[in-house]
Structure 1
Amino acid sequence: MTLEILKTKEDLRNLIDAYAYLGDDKKISEVMQLFIKDAVYKVFMNGVEVANTKGTDVLEKEFTGHASLVKTYFTLNGQHTVKIDGDTASGVSFSQIKMIREHEGADTITDYSVKYEDQYILENGKWLIKERVGFFIIIEARSLKN
């Protein structure tokens, strides 16, 4: 493994970690800077496609709307495997995402176990997300007792 490949793997890992950090902080406009302008973002829950968005303008509106309903996000990233092919790469990563929302006056926490399949592209010396497909495999919601 060359130093260039190791550097690229680190850059790609930093990209998905930045997505989690910025998303947790609801810095949606900064999250959009991690995508190419005409990026594709899809979500599957229980095997059913529930979102299919193209372009950061639309994606930013959708993320902002979603974030307005969530009091707190907390994301833990796990495994991240990539295949690099010049200025493009593909990757698979796993995340645990917790979201706290208010429901009928009480806080509810939803735990999501997510597998992401990504396509990346190197633009102007920076790796960006070209396509992100999230497979929400396990979803559990419960009342949060503070």
Structure 2
Amino acid sequence: MNSKEMADKAALKELIDEVAMLADKRDVHAQVQLFTENAISDTYAEGNLILGLKGRTAMEAAFTNFLKNIDTVYHFNGQQQFTINGDNATGTSYCMITLIGMENGKKMKTSIGAVYQDDYVYENNHWLIAKRTGDFQWQEKREVGH
């Protein structure tokens, strides 16, 4: 692996981590700037498309709406693998997501095991996500404190 490929892989890892950290901070506007203007974000659960979005504006509106009833968001990124081809790249990232919020008067914690398949492009001297397909492979929900 040459030094440019090593630098690109480090930059892609940083991009994925920054997306997660901004989600945890609930800074949706800054988060969607890490996607291309017309990026696609598709999320699946149990093989079914549960959210299909195109563009930063649609993503910002949907992510903001989703977070309105959630008090705590926590992403823990795990394994990541990238393939780089010039100014394009693909990658797979594993993530544990924890969401805590009120549901029916109870404080509930939802844990999600997600795998993201991403397409990246190098624009204006930095990597952006052009397409993200999230596969929520499992989910567990329980009342907090019980």
Question: The residue matched to 2:98 in structure 1 has which SS?
Answer: strand
Structure 1 unaligned residues grouped into runs of 5+: none
Q: Which residue of 2 aligns with 1:64?
A: 64
Shift of 1:121: 0.2
Aligned pairs, how many? 146
TM-score normalised over the length of structure 2: 0.98
- Cα deviations across residues 36-58 of structure 1 (Å, max 9, x unaligned)? 00000000001111111101111
Shift of 1:74: 0.8
Q: Which residue of 2 aligns with 1:42?
A: 42
In 1, Cα distance between equivalents of 2:92 and 2:144: 31
In 2, Cα distance between equivalents of 1:10 and 1:139: 30
Question: The residue matched to 2:58 in structure 1 has which SS?
Answer: helix
In 1, Cα distance between equivalents of 2:12 and 2:22: 15
Moved over 2 A (4+): none
Q: Which residue of 1 aligns with 2:135?
A: 135
Counterpart amino acid of 1:7?
A: A
1:114 aligned onto 2:117: no
Shift of 1:103: 1.3
Query: Superposed, which structure 2 residues align to 1:1-146 within 5 Å?
Result: 1-145=1-145
Question: The residue matched to 2:65 in structure 1 has which SS?
Answer: helix
Shift of 1:104: 2.0
> What is the percent sequence identity of the aligned residues?
32
Shift of 1:106: 1.7
Structure 2 unaligned residues grouped into runs of 5+: none
Question: The residue matched to 1:71 in structure 2 has which SS?
Answer: strand
Counterpart amino acid of 1:5?
A: E
Counterpart amino acid of 1:20?
A: A
Counterpart amino acid of 1:92?
A: T
